[in-house]
């Protein structure tokens, strides 16, 4: 259940999409901007924030790999998720025209989601930055009249920029899924989804064997992601989302079965799937 007193840490400046995701979870919660994803984990670990909101995948740009790696590195459970429809706009200082623009700033994920539009711009350098809203702030602070940013409408309003082009993303169905981390493992709603991390011996059929423990019990797999096993070249760990609660008997037995032959199994969290309209 959503708590009354919550403080959400998020990566980026005010106006970032992560801030908007926190607002979808709890409009009355306090928010805490952080420079980097690592800082979000640190804020939650130190109790400077009750929760952290982190993008984990986008329907166009794919997975945010750094946050998968950080989940592995920290012992902060996933307690919820939220989905947000993302609308990108090209924004610049008032009076600047598209013909004036020689550079476009934004986060790499946002740039990837606007690839078709960006290819249509001639003699314009595309520059990756740490944040969408942060790009808008850089333009304002530097009074950059030859630079535009791809960011939210709200970021433009906060930093006094005007919209040059609306909705420059490549696909209308541009949705980002965010996870919520906390020190307290209590889920924000009745859990019906579980995320795990596991590794298997490098043998033929090992992954098939791992996934079969869920197939045999009719457990739906929502997502499978592999990441390098640090320090061991060409070995991998797997992140798996299951549409079942960790406490469901079938899911619990499947995880016990997996642990019998996996190198290791770790539950990252059991939490409520997001089921609200976009």
Q: Which residues are catalytic?
A: 176, 178
CB 62 within 8 A of CB 186: no
CB 253 within 8 A of CB 217: yes
> What's CA 150's distance to the chain center, in Å?
18
CB 82 within 8 A of CB 17: no
**What SS3 state is found at 84?**
strand
Sign of the Cα pseudo-torsion (145, 149, 152, 155, in order): negative
DSSP assignment of 172-223, as one string? S--EEEEEEEESS---SS---EEEEEEE--S-TTHHHHHHHHHHTTTPPEEE
Query: CB under 8 Å to 168, separation ≥6 — which residues?
Result: 88, 89, 90, 114, 117, 150
Nearest-angstrom CA–CA distance, 86 and 161: 19
Give the chain's radius of gyration (CA, Å).
20
């Amino acid at each position: 259940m959503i708590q009354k007193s919550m403080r959400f840490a998020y990566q980026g400046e005010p106006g970032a999409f992560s801030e908007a995701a926190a607002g979808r979870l709890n409009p009355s919660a306090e928010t805490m901007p952080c420079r980097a994803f690592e800082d979000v984990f640190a804020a939650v670990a130190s109790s400077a924030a009750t929760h952290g909101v982190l993008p984990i995948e986008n329907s166009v740009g794919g997975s945010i790999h750094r946050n998968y790696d950080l989940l592995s590195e920290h012992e902060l459970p996933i307690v919820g998720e939220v989905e947000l429809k993302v609308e990108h706009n090209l924004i610049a200082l008032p009076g600047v025209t598209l013909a004036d623009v020689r550079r476009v700033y934004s986060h790499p994920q946002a740039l990837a989601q606007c690839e078709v539009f960006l290819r249509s711009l001639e003699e314009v350098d595309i520059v990756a930055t740490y944040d969408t809203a942060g790009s808008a702030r850089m333009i304002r602070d530097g009074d950059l009249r030859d630079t535009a940013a791809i960011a939210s409408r709200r970021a433009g309003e906060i930093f006094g920029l005007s919209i040059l082009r609306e909705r420059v993303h490549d696909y209308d169905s541009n949705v980002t899924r965010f996870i919520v981390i906390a020190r307290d493992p209590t889920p924000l709603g009745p859990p019906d989804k579980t995320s795990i991390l596991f590794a298997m011996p490098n043998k033929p059929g090992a992954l098939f064997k791992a996934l079969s423990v869920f197939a045999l019990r009719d457990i739906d797999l929502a997502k499978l992601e592999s990441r390098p096993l640090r320090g061991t070249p060409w070995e991998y760990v797997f992140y798996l989302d299951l549409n079942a609660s960790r406490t469901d008997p079938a899911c619990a037995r499947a995880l016990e079965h997996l642990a019998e032959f996996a190198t290791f199994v770790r539950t990252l969290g059991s939490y409520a799937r997001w089921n609200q309209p976009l």
